[in-house]
Chains A and B, each alone.
Chain A
């Protein structure tokens, strides 16, 4: 019997906890991917070792489909694992985690398919793979090379499980809505209405003028906090500015040219936060 959603998450967390990962709870500010949270973006800067595992809800306003599409949601879950420095047997450790959720790697076709990751708003890139199990992409695996526009001092391995995808594979479900979350409760029971309402908000109701103003305010506040040498609160302003941008994008309020300039502004903030974080750590 396949693990339900919550048991699958618990099994993965326990697996990584046994391997000296700090089990963190989700970060409180809206992010588009686990990479944005300070537990990844900032902790992977500098020389200090760090191992962590945490679930992170990810918000991607333009991916919402009012709860009508089986694969696309404006909110979904990632399980983020950071191993810094990346150990030599990192892949074997990762494949071990598939076994604990019930994937027999000899019975299935497990494949590492090239994936060059780039996070333009974070000034970040890395090389790695999508991990496929029988054609289903269940994980993104990245060796960070740059963060905040700087070469990393120590290379971290980032393992990002797409939890809904992984659960769909395990449970043999064609849509996330049908996933068993807990006995008698499906993912759809928990989130379908959420998807509908938030899609309305993201696409129709999010206030463009206010969001534009907010973007500027977050940008200014970030600069102010950096001047006061407070990179951690400053980083939250980067996240908030980035989310405001994502909402504006979903509202269709940003032309493609403006897009590049917004991304550049967020990247600039992220770079300054990263520099200040390293400075403050010394």
Chain B
């Protein structure tokens, strides 16, 4: 049998619609025993179609107490299930009853109720005294089992809010057709296609702020209408125009003075005229604000930063600017980055950013450009928040990379010092993104970011990101993090060099490292190696190898040639191999023993420059 279940609500936020869409299949499966064949979601309805439901449940064996506990437990079990003790049956050593088959129509009201109440949302409300919580008020439910009604639920739905009222749903099968006749497209994918086709038909469209996902669930009957605004607004920077279009109004820029509206109905000419007026109003407002900012000028805006708090407990934006300049300096930034740091946060004092926070950075760059600053400075200001997503592009310019790294270092340091370390999935300040950005600036961006610029907890948090970012087993990252290398990118490159070492070359130095660690912990080693006590050829060979390898390894690390450093370390391998084969470290003579332990510890200390090899499992 085919079941339709629809939850009708007042206009749900798109976020809630996506939350419901993700949960409905699982809930149907749990409560109806079958996954839905279709899930329909949109602003006013969440619905499922479930195929192949059985009219009756099968005989169900309800297992009770074991037979040998008949005396103690049978009466209670029988009472709970409302049968006489004599009616209990025996199966496989247990008492129990065979439950009568129940009809689906009898079970459904409760099952559907559980689906409705089982949905979980980030933000819910109440609206009456029913006790139900939902993102917006639920106004109806509609259910059909084939063409039969389901107790406790209606058999009607509501069409488009303004063109159709309540309409009858004669059967589960007819649901989609009934809605389409009532100006509602229930299939989100079809709505998306209609919108995309409509936009394609108008030309090149863009969605810089990613609004389409939301717009799909803002309409039930999408129609795409194009509009124009007065050319005088083209004097505004393109980003400002696009942000005015998208951030609040959810329009799609079509280039030049054209834009697209996704409407939920109405007459196209009427809808166009109204929206054009609204957008021109917003652009008028933006122009007014933009001109006031320009009148102040970027230098004046920068001067106002002392009265704007950056973060409670972390001073003003003027303080932040000062810290950025110091960081840029320590990152080796040149004049352009220093100048960019000085002006980086000026737009926080602008009226336009207060209006459209998503313009931060880009509008500051625009104001710097209009004030005649060199393009390198302007570009760095524009790029300071990059990368703004895990895979997003890095700043294209060197000053931009330096400033972006400084900004992230400061954000992380300040947030951690105030106790805002991300926990679980909660990361309200975007610190994970900042840390990943920093790692990528160090690797892909080849920026030298000294590790000493990060307090210990920040450094740990940032370097942990490499575990997910680098294509090497996490243990190699952990090993490399313990190395003495001085900058962030070196940690990554060292991890990669270690991971690239073939097993047979890694094995001996790894073993030496582990054994030296283990033995060194148990026994007292000699404070200093005494070459005279090295009697066995194998140990003398290790000593010679060590003398050779150490300066090479150090030199390779100095020049950040990690492959060479790892190769140098690995050259200790054959000698160590022989040592373990031929020499008993734990000699009976305590002096010899202590000296051999010292030799092993010296090997370990040398290898330690490559990290904590003990992290790598063998």
Residues of A within 8 A of B (CB): 65, 68-72, 85-86, 88, 91, 95, 105-114, 116, 126-127, 129, 133-136, 143, 145, 154-155, 169, 172, 174, 252, 255-257, 260
- Stretch of B106-114, B277-285, B397-405 with 4 or more beta carbons under 8 angstroms from chain A: B277-285
Query: Which residue of chain B is the closest to A91 with respect to CB atoms?
Result: B10
Q: Determine if B125 is an interface residue (Cβ-Cβ < 8 Å).
A: yes
Contact A69 B288 (CB under 8 A): yes
Contact A252 B307 (CB under 8 A): yes
Which chain B positions have C-beta within 8 A of A70?
281, 284-285
* Contact flag A127-B264 (CB < 8 Å), given A106-B163, A252-B307: no
Which chain A positions have C-beta within 8 A of B14?
114
Q: Determine if B364 is an interface residue (Cβ-Cβ < 8 Å).
A: no
* Contact flag A134-B127 (CB < 8 Å), given A107-B267, A257-B309: no
Contact B309 A256 (CB under 8 A): yes
* Contact flag A71-B307 (CB < 8 Å), given A134-B266, A135-B275: no
* Contact flag A85-B265 (CB < 8 Å), given A108-B274, A114-B14, A172-B277: no
The distance from the CB of A203 to the nearest CB of chain B, in whole angstroms, is 13
Which chain A positions have C-beta within 8 A of B11?
112-114, 129
Interface size for B (C-beta < 8 A) is 46
Q: How far is the CA of A133 from the CA of B261 in the complex (A)?
A: 13
Q: How far is the CA of A169 from the CA of B285 in the complex (A)?
A: 17
* Contact flag A105-B162 (CB < 8 Å), given A134-B266, A135-B261: yes
Return the contact of A145 from the options B126, B271, B280 (Cβ within 8 A). Answer: B126
Q: How far is the CA of A16 from the CA of B379 in the complex (A)?
A: 56
Q: Determine if B584 is an interface residue (Cβ-Cβ < 8 Å).
A: no
Q: How far is the CA of A255 from the CA of B127 in the complex (A)?
A: 38
Query: Which residue of chain B is the closest to A88 with respect to CB atoms?
Result: B139
Which chain A positions have C-beta within 8 A of B129?
154
Contact B273 A134 (CB under 8 A): yes
The distance from the CB of B455 to the nearest CB of chain A, in whole angstroms, is 24
Contact B123 A135 (CB under 8 A): no
Q: Determine if B573 is an interface residue (Cβ-Cβ < 8 Å).
A: no
Contact A135 B13 (CB under 8 A): no
Question: Interface centre among B267, B273, B279, by most A CB within 10 Å?
Answer: B267
Contact B128 A155 (CB under 8 A): yes
The distance from the CB of A47 to the nearest CB of chain B, in whole angstroms, is 10
Contact A127 B123 (CB under 8 A): yes
28 contacts between A and B (CB under 8 A): A69-B285, A70-B285, A71-B284, A71-B285, A72-B285, A105-B162, A107-B270, A108-B266, A108-B274, A109-B266, A109-B271, A110-B264, A110-B265, A111-B264, A112-B43, A113-B11, A114-B15, A126-B125, A127-B135, A135-B278, A136-B274, A136-B277, A143-B137, A155-B125, A172-B277, A174-B277, A256-B308, A257-B312
* Contact flag A127-B128 (CB < 8 Å), given A70-B281, A71-B285, A109-B263: no
The distance from the CB of A14 to the nearest CB of chain B, in whole angstroms, is 23
Contact A135 B249 (CB under 8 A): yes
Q: How far is the CA of A69 from the CA of B290 in the complex (A)?
A: 13
Q: Determine if B142 is an interface residue (Cβ-Cβ < 8 Å).
A: no
Q: How far is the CA of A113 from the CA of B161 in the complex (A)?
A: 14
Contact B285 A174 (CB under 8 A): no
Return the contact of B274 from the options A86, A145, A169 (Cβ within 8 A). Answer: A169
Contact A86 B127 (CB under 8 A): yes
